[in-house]
Homo-oligomer: A and B are copies of this chain.
């Protein structure tokens, strides 16, 4: 186990979410929240969170994050309201509709690393403007492993900045539609090949309940999604995946293909827990024993005998 440090940069938000399982108003959300807390179950050292909230961000949330050893020295608190998002999922979870987005203090977010964090070895750049993601990297000394997320909005609107960022990251994580949009290829292996040509050594394509695919020098790896019968709220599943993934990378302290494969499974494990409740609530009652059990369940989910033909 290494004592390496994980830096997470991204949004902290209030989410208003409605699914077939119910509705929650202004609960804790935001990519950086999910990534930090999900990773915290695995990282040996506190996770370093860089984000911004308004003066309306309650102490209860701060205490919750700190209870998961999330270091908030990089969480700016500025005059104004915290980022708010509201959405509703179709009854079958096949689509979600954004009802409201209020960037508020997130509008002028300029990530600033505390000086002591410039040595961070592992960096996760959650989905923000690629120019800001690049700026974060310029504030770091020499990270060992950098992964980033992005979205349609940046692929279409800030493509040049994104293409400047990609050669600087080790891994791009994105969903299947984003991979197709970025690459212009409908076929996922072809899309991954094209994206790796843009710079990242590794590409992870997230496919929701169809799992995730890793394309890298170690070949292709397919991580299934855990079949969950009672999905409550898929919000943050992709970020929880990233959290579990990065948490394992930091814990192992190396970037070998074998470690990356195991990290894919731990990402899937954390994502599978995340959807079982609203907001980050499933993480409030999660422990390492449950994570261990589900890891073994993943191993069983894909197990077959290596027969002779």
Contact = CB atoms under 8 A, between A and B. Distances in A.
B227 A302 contact: no
A209 interface: yes
A22 interface: no
12 contacts: A92-B186, A92-B187, A93-B187, A211-B224, A221-B301, A221-B303, A221-B304, A222-B227, A222-B302, A258-B304, A262-B305, A288-B309
Contact of A309 (B295, B300, B302): B295
Given A94-B186, A227-B188, A301-B220, A292 B264 contact: no
Contacts of A224: 211, 222, 224, 302
A255 interface: no
Interface string A189-226: 11001000000000000010111010000011110100
B258 A305 contact: yes
A269 to B, nearest CB: 10
A295 to B, nearest CB: 6
Interface string A264-276: 1100000000000
Contacts of A305: 258, 261-262
Contacts of A265: 304
A299 interface: yes
Contacts of A285: none
Given A303-B261, A304-B264, A189 B309 contact: no
Given A189-B228, A219-B301, A296-B306, 12 more contacts: A91-B186, A92-B180, A187-B231, A190-B229, A210-B210, A219-B300, A220-B227, A222-B301, A222-B302, A224-B224, A291-B309, A302-B302
Given A186-B93, A220-B227, A262 B309 contact: no
A93 B220 CA distance: 21
Interface residues of A, number: 45
A181 to B, nearest CB: 12
A22 to B, nearest CB: 16
A99 interface: no
Given A186-B94, A207-B210, A227-B213, A302 B258 contact: no
B309 A292 contact: yes
Interface in A101-147: none
Contacts of A180: 92
Contacts of A190: 229
A60 interface: no
A262 B189 contact: no
A305 B266 CA distance: 12
